[in-house]
Structure 1
């Protein structure tokens, strides 16, 4: 029995040992399981991390592909736009070249035409210059001929005048001054208007008749320093002034407030020594007053 008991105890001890081993084994198993779980977790994590990295790389690759695609599209679009722009610019340049070529031809044609016109004008100018020289030479010849004819005319006229005066040519109009077509005699003595006119008539002339301002200025320029009678009077009718040839007065060179017919006796015109406004010299005076006088002989009387 004791053996049985001891056997039971031994068996119990063995069983206890086995249990302990089993427990240890179980612990080892659990530890191994935890280690395996931990390793699996790490592996899963690594796998997930790798998957995440791969996904990230895939996304980056796709993004890169998309960017490259967009860049290609952009480059293609830019190339198309630049090609279209280049085509338009090329067409514009061609159009401008054609236009400029046409304008250049037009300008060249205009230049040729202007050159021809210039040559024509130059030729015309040379012809006109030659004609001008010819006309100038002819004018000089005609001028010489006119001078010769005038000299001959004056010689014939002088003969006519001297014959009219019944004097020799050497002494004819010796003391007279010539202006235009008239000869003028300035007296050195004084007489009344009627006596002065009589003296002029005896010389084959008459008291001076002033027809215009030019003749008036000629008489002023003589500067004789004394008054002289002119052939103007209103003896026939008061204020109806007439020249000695019967012509009415037209150009008037009276001084200020003249004629005034002072004392109702001033009926004859006198050329005074002072000129108002440079050309007004006439005054009316009594015909009986003694003054110098000017005779005029108009050469048209010999025509």
Structure 2
């Protein structure tokens, strides 16, 4: 539309210019004719009448009017030229404005295309992120399910390990009893053999009692023969029990190795850390001693009991440089510190001059030392199971 307006303005300006040039040519022709008439009149001889004088005056008046008219026409031409120049300048300005608008429109079109492309890319990235989030959620659910299955397998293995340990102890006890019986039978057999030898010697010396001794010796021989198969059977059973015990020991060691491998693979499950056949949990929040113990007992555990220096070093490593509650208190009887399993503290890792306060009835571990704190203080804690 702007282009059409500009074209119309160009055509109108061109028509005005053509009209100005045509009017100027016409006026120039009329002025030339009038000047020729005046020259002709001046050249004629001075034989003029009154009417001729009147005509001359009329001509002069006409010439003056024509001159004035020419001046007006020239002024009009100058005004029209000035107007035309302004129109041309205005037209050039409008052309520049149109070009700028076209350029700006082109830039805006390019920006729009870039924004559309960017929006398309962002939409694709959003869809990819949604898909990735869905995949991560599925993987998390699978890991939770796998963790639950591994926990159940761990419990089953622990139960099976306990049963095998009990069976092993029963077999060891039975093996010990059989060994004792075997030793007694061997001793008895040895005694009988000695008695037999004595009876043979006595039979040689006592001819009268020979028949009785022979009979008794025969009985003893029969008993011996009966004991020998029985002894052989016991020996075979003993060997079988030893073999079975060896197999059970190997199976126990293999199960223990598999259990340790499984526990190492478990690593950390739901924040629990496996260490030295126990699981430990260190909190990320702070509570008082009683709430902490309730938190542990609700999960089948209790506040940690530190039995040796190695376990104290382990607590230091997982707690860092913060105070953590441990399962030690003297709230029942002042000055008598007990663990949460009701066992009395025999030795510990108290800091210098600790404990000392009457109102500080619960213990915390800080780096490598213990301190007494008020049980209502909010600190982190460590559970153990």
Please confirm whether the aligned pair reaches a TM-score higher than 0.5, indicating the same fold.
Answer: no
Which of these two proteins has the greater Rg computed from alpha carbons?
1
With normalisation by structure 2, the TM-score equals: 0.33
Give the helix-richer structure, 1 or 2: 2
Comparing both chains, which one has the higher relative contact order based on Cα–Cα distances under 8 Å and sequence gaps of 6 or more?
Answer: 1
